[in-house]
Structure 1
């Protein structure tokens, strides 16, 4: 099973590097990138889960509608990606549900910062995907956390996939910078070990960042951005489909394992 996801947020990368950059400018980048992502998924007939900020949902309702119309799941990703707050769990859900008219089941904190699972449950989320159980000094130091899904405070935790032994992350930055053959091999290894694969990307990765030095984005983020990343995503999806793997949403994954837990207890 493939749990492919995208953190659909207003592009705020330049702000991290001291560039004066508006929400409107960030939305323009992310809308373009999101539509490119949707084109790839549509051409390959696969589904994904889109974790959306309240800012994105409010400023791009037509893109939110396209996400739903094409069979993808909508989940929450905070309100303001640049300045996340503890109260965002509830407000994010309120905004995204108002824009889409649907009930949202899942949450992912911006930048995968920690969350309080009891609050996630209280607000009404069924799952939380805010954990990257990797070893990345200065960013993610989560060697003591489970590597695969688990329950905590009544909420299903769905961590991003990492390799079994070294916990090498297989998220967006890895596909940008590793040789594709090596990345694909590590993904297949995780699938053999875990039976499923979880990864995530962002819309701004599919924008031609290389053409905008004024953004001051680091090379490892600009590398293979834009059209190159569209092709890399397309080849990854095609490889996984050729291997016979099924693409499912995070809610479908939660349903499968909730039912399995019931069956095991009967």
Structure 2
């Protein structure tokens, strides 16, 4: 027996403190749902988890970029469809002008063609997404938009920009544009007018084809990114999410140890009093 140092009580207190800390950790994991609350809990796991979260946030932003890009191309598709319809109507009118038409009839045809050409310019200049005009790009140095398509360096897509206003819908030589078609009809050059219209249609349809392929690629990338995001979230859960059933069992265990420690400290703290009673009997 020792009077100055109650070693038994100190040992019980040390075990009690350890059980109390473990009880607190279990309660923290259950309340937060996280197995790794601090880097000291699992230094390697914490690093892995933060890297995965960085990748996940990057993928989620890339998915938003793909959605915006798809919406942009859908807006462009609407404008291209209107321009295609206008050119088809111009071609119909051109063929009609080659028939047995009087001067007044040809003048009416030319007037409608002029209106169709104006509508092409209106659509091309008015088709935009978030301030970006894909069909009326007037800056020759800006031929595409670079869009981040993933979470890593170098993951990007180029969306080409075009100028499909009437001045730029030219023939194969580039010498004449669709705006000159009325003059061709007036001078009886119906074949030349048709060639001009077909060249303009070829250019518009080529742009539609490229945008359609790019939209398919974006939708495919979006689906892949969505699958990758789910896989990363699952891996992050395996590393950092607490197993609630396991933590509940641990909490029950530590609760019992804390209560046992309290009871044992009561007992061990009585030892110095027992020493005093022995000393009293020595007299």
TM-score range, shorter chain: under 0.3
Which structure has the bigger radius of gyration? Answer: 2
TM-score, length-scaled by structure 2? 0.23
TM-score, length-scaled by structure 1? 0.24
Greater strand share, structure number: 1
